[in-house]
Amino acid sequence: MTATMPRTSRHESLQSRLETLRTERTELLAELTAPSSGDDADRATNVDGHVRVAMLDRRIAALEEELISVEFGSTVSTGTIKAGDVVTLDFGDGPESFLFGSVEQAADGTDVITPGSPLGQALSAAQVGQTISYAAKPRRVLEVKLVAVS
């Protein structure tokens, strides 16, 4: 696990990633709105492009929220965990550490749990020492113990 990045470096890194995603979104929209007289295969690509735009919109919104958190030092959280924290979890075979936040925050090789994932949503209200359940898939409930937050 890597050390926590200083606030200004983190801010610059997030801002750079945000600009990259915004540029990617603009370029994709330009491709999608270009006149086309294609066949069904071209329209299928168009659907894929719209799905990708929606995905980029979600990632951009998450980065913008994270930037606000970095800029204003927000620590709003319903439990003990906030974006940027390192959580240690035990899935039953020993403790493992993860970054709780967006994939943009992660350094190479860092495993991330995003707040919007089923596990992330369950963890956001958890307290250290608590065992929580979450639905990994429909009809598949898993348990994990929150060992530590740093």
Model pLDDT, residue 150? 87
Element (H, E) at 8: helix 7-33
- Exposed/middle/buried for residue 24 (C-beta within 10 Å: 0-12, 13-18, 19+): middle
Taking the whole predicted model, whether its pTM rises above 0.85 is answered as no
Tokens of 66: 């994270």
Model pLDDT, residue 88? 94
Q: Report the SS3 class of residue 106.
A: coil
Model pLDDT, residue 72? 56
Which residues does the chain have with pLDDT short of 70?
Answer: 1-8, 35-45, 68-79, 104-108
Residue with tokens 């168009």: 46
Q: Say if CB 25 and CB 18 are below 8 A apart.
A: no
| Rg for the chain, CA atoms, rounded | 19
Q: Say if CB 83 and CB 105 are below 8 A apart.
A: yes
As a whole number of angstroms, the distance between CA 86 and CA 97 comes to: 7
Our CA angle for 103, 150, 19, nearest 5°, is 25
